[in-house]
Amino acid sequence: MKATLEIPDELYRRVKAKSALEGRPVREVAVELLRGYVDSPLVRDADKEGAPSPESELVDGEPVPSWFGTFRESAQRVGRHGLDEIRESIARGIAEDRDR
């Protein structure tokens, strides 16, 4: 299926440049991101009545602590949460910030 999306020019330039460096077509990157989105758990507004508290959400079968706050979404996208994975994730984030 073909779809047309309006993406901010600056964001598209960055996606195009990074995908080119990785030797991947933008289409492949977009499909990967969309699959990750639909395969991830639903994100619920914690302020809604009846919404589960952060403690009731699970990542790898373990409850996400309430202090985790905005990092909850990122944690749900990661398969493992050991110190090595956390260090690697932080290093990737720092490198991405430097590239901006």
| Cβ neighbours of residue 73 closer than 8 Å, sequence gap 6 or more | 43
Q: What pLDDT digit, counting tens, does each position of 64-100 carry? A: 666 666 565 665 566 666 777 777 877 887 888 888 7
Between 36 and 42, name the one with better pLDDT.
Answer: 36
Q: What angle do CA 46, 52, 56 make, to 5 degrees?
A: 120
